[in-house]
A = this chain, B = another copy of it.
Amino acid sequence: MTSVQYGDAIREGFQYLLGTDPSVVVIGQGLWSPWYVGNTMRDLEHKFGKDRVIDTPVSELACTGAAIGAAMSGYRPIVTHPRVDFALLAIDQMVNQAAKWNSMFGGQAPVPVVFRLIVNRGGEQGAQHSQSLYSWFAHIPGLRVVTPATPADARDLLIAATFSDDPVVYIDDRWLYDLDADIGVPAPVDLSKIEPQVLRQGSDITLVGFSWTTRLMTQAADQLALDGVDAEVIDLRVLNPLHLEKVFASVAKTGRLVVAEGDWSSCGVAAEVICQCVTELGPASFSSAPARINLAQSPAPTSRPLEASYYPTVDDVVRAARASCDANPKTEAVAQ
C-alpha cells in the first residue's frame, strides 16, 4: 500500500488502462494541459502516443459522438470534458444516443464508452464554470454514473467504468485531487457489483454523501463524535443504477438521516435518497425528519465572500445532524 493522491490515482487508472488494453483511447479537450485536467493526464500523451491520448478542437458534441462511434467499433474510449458545464453541449450524444442505443436496438448494441466529466469550481470562476448536475445523469436509464470520493475509487472505478460495456458517466472533482490515502494495486472490478460503502460505522445517525460531500460527511462525523454523537457515514459511489440497500439498513438502525450533495436541492440526488428511504422503510422508521444539505439555490457567484456562503461546509452538516438528534418526533406522532 502506498499513499496516493486522488488526482494521481486517476492518472494511475489511465496508465493502467492504456498500458494493459490497446482498445483504450482517451479523447477530449485539454488533455495535454494541466489547466484543464490537473495532473491526471501528466505525460500520458508522450507515453502512449498522441493518437491514443487525443487533445481536440473545441467541439464537445462531435468529440463525444466520435467517442461513441469508436465504442461501437471495438474500442473503449474515454471522452473527457474538463468541466461539467462544457459537457452540456454534448448532452444529445450522451443522453439521446449513448444512453438509449442498447435499448433502441433491442439490447443488442452495447456502447462501452466513458464520459469523464470534471467538476471544476470555486476560485471565482462563476456560474458557467461550476456545475456538477449529478442528478441529471442519475435520472437517465441507460447511463451508469460513478462519483468517486476516495483515491482508491478514483482509480478503480475509472478502470471499472472503462471495462463496463455500458456508457458510464464518471465524475471526478478537482477539490478532491489533493486527498490522499493508501491504496493497493489496481484490481479490475465489475462496476455493476459496486455498492455504497460504509466508511464509518455508527448507531445514532446516518450521514450519506458522494464525491466531494463524502469528505464533508467524514469530517462532520469526527466532529460529532467529540459531542458523543456516533454517526454512520456512507459513500454512495454509484448514483445510477442506485442501490440503496446499505443505506436502508443503516437508517433502519439509526432512524436518522442527513444527505449532503454538492449540487442544487430541487430534484437532486439527496431528494432521491430521502424519497427512497421513506417509501421503502416507511415513515415510522424515522425518529426525526430526514434532512438534506445542498448548494444555495442560485447560479454560482464569483465574488469570494459569496462563494464562501454558496458551498456547504462541515459545520452545516454538524448543525443538521445535531438538529436531527435533538428532535423527538415519536412523541409528536403520538400527540398528533
A103 closest partner in B (C-beta) = B299
* Chain B: CB-nearest residue to A134: B267
Please state if B298 and A103 are interface contacts (CB–CB under 8 Å).
Answer: yes
Q: Give the chain B neighbours of A138 by CB distance below 8 A.
A: 266-267
Q: Does A70 contact B (CB under 8 A)?
A: no
Closest CB in chain B relative to A318 CB, distance in Å: 18
| Interface flag for A312 (CB, 8 Å) | no
A126 at the interface (CB under 8 A from B): yes
B-facing mask of A278-298, CB < 8 A → 1, else 0? 111111111011111000011
Distance A88 CA – B64 CA, assembled complex (angstroms): 14
Neighbouring B residues of A139 by C-beta, 8 Å: 133, 135-136, 264, 266-268
State in angstroms the CA–CA spacing of A330 and B285 once bound together. 10
**Size of interface on A: residues with Cβ below 8 Å to B:** 61
Q: Which of A42-50, A92-100, A191-199, A209-217 contacts B (4 or more CB under 8 A)?
A: A92-100
Q: Is the interface of A mostly helix, strand, loop or mixed?
A: helix
| Residues of B close to A135: CB separation below 8 A | 135, 139, 267
A272 to chain B, nearest CB (A): 5
Copies of this chain in its oligomeric complex = 2
CB-based contact B267/A336 at 8 Å: no
A contact set with B: CB distance below 8 Å:
61, 85, 88-89, 91-92, 95-96, 99-100, 103-104, 126-128, 133, 135-136, 138-142, 240, 242, 264, 266-272, 274-276, 278-286, 288-292, 297-299, 301, 327, 329-330, 332-334, 336
Docked Cα-Cα span, A92 to B85, in Å, equals 8
User: In whole Å, how far is A130's beta carbon from the nearest beta carbon of chain B?
Assistant: 10
Question: Quick check: A282 and B240 within 8 Å, CB to CB?
Answer: no
**Contact call B283/A329, Cβ cutoff below 8 A:** yes
Contacts A135-B139, A266-B139 given; does A275 touch B271 at CB 8 Å: yes
Known: A279-B274, A279-B290, A299-B141. A104 touches B92 (CB 8 A): no
